[in-house]
Amino acid sequence: MTAGDVAVFPAQERLDALERRVAALESRSSGGASNKATIVVLSGDMEKVMSAYIIATGAASMGMDVTLFFTFWGLGALKKKRSLKGKNFLQSMMTLMTPAGLRRLGTSKFNFGGLGPVMFGAMMRHSNVASLEDIAAVARELGVREVACTMTMDVMGVSKDELLPFVEFGGVGMFVGEAADSKIQLYI
């Protein structure tokens, strides 16, 4: 048969061929992934962290297992306090220059010396939108895992006692394992 020829199959053979093609496409598109979502939270900007929590909450409410992997600037969202104890000069400077907690995150645009998040908060209340803290609490209630990158903690001098009590800890291997088994992988 040449490229221009059309194969003529009986109806059942065509149906079987079509089913095989659909099954192949489904297995290729899903990659055999579990019903999971893995989100890297690199940014410490309020609106980006909020986006990560909103997506995580949406996915968890649809029955997905969700992991938020916080690294570099994103670690500030998981902090409960700042501590200079046991840190070298550079780590101390990093601690003083980065926010601690969701309420202290700045915005990526129009921060205006800290006024940006206040303005966003007022606009959100006016629009009956939950606060970042409330959205994060809902995510936790839905079982979203919040994992702090241990390598970043080491580099930036962030100790476990600076982070919220429910935070889990993991490295790149943990993240890659989760992401490889996820239907959704995002980088925020």
Coil, strand or helix: which one is 128? coil
Number of independent structural domains in the chain: 1
DSSP string covering 81-110: ----TT--HHHHHHHHHS--SGGGPPPSS-
pLDDT in tens, 118-129: 888 888 899 999
Q: Is residue 17 part of a domain?
A: no
Other CB atoms within 10 A of residue 39 CB: 25
Range of the domain at 146: 34-187
Q: pLDDT at position 47, please?
A: 93
Q: Is residue 6 part of a domain?
A: no
Reply yes or no on whether the pLDDT at 9 is more than 80: no
pLDDT in tens, 153-173: 999 999 999 999 999 999 999
Q: Is residue 148 part of a domain?
A: yes
* Summary mean pLDDT of the chain: 87
Q: pLDDT at position 23, please?
A: 64
* pTM for this model (two decimals): 0.78
Q: Is residue 42 part of a domain?
A: yes
pLDDT in tens, 44-78: 999 999 999 999 999 999 999 999 999 999 999 99
| Helical segments of the chain, H only | 11-30, 46-61, 89-97, 115-126, 132-141, 150-156, 172-180
Q: pLDDT at position 74, please?
A: 96
Q: Is residue 26 part of a domain?
A: no
Q: Is residue 19 part of a domain?
A: no
Q: pLDDT at position 33, please?
A: 76
Tokens 């055999």: give the residue: 32
Q: Is residue 176 part of a domain?
A: yes
Q: What is the CATH number of the domain that holds 140?
A: 3.40.1260.10
Supply angle C-alpha 136, 140, 145, rounded to 5. 105
Q: Is residue 181 part of a domain?
A: yes
Reply yes or no on whether the pLDDT at 16 is more than 90: no
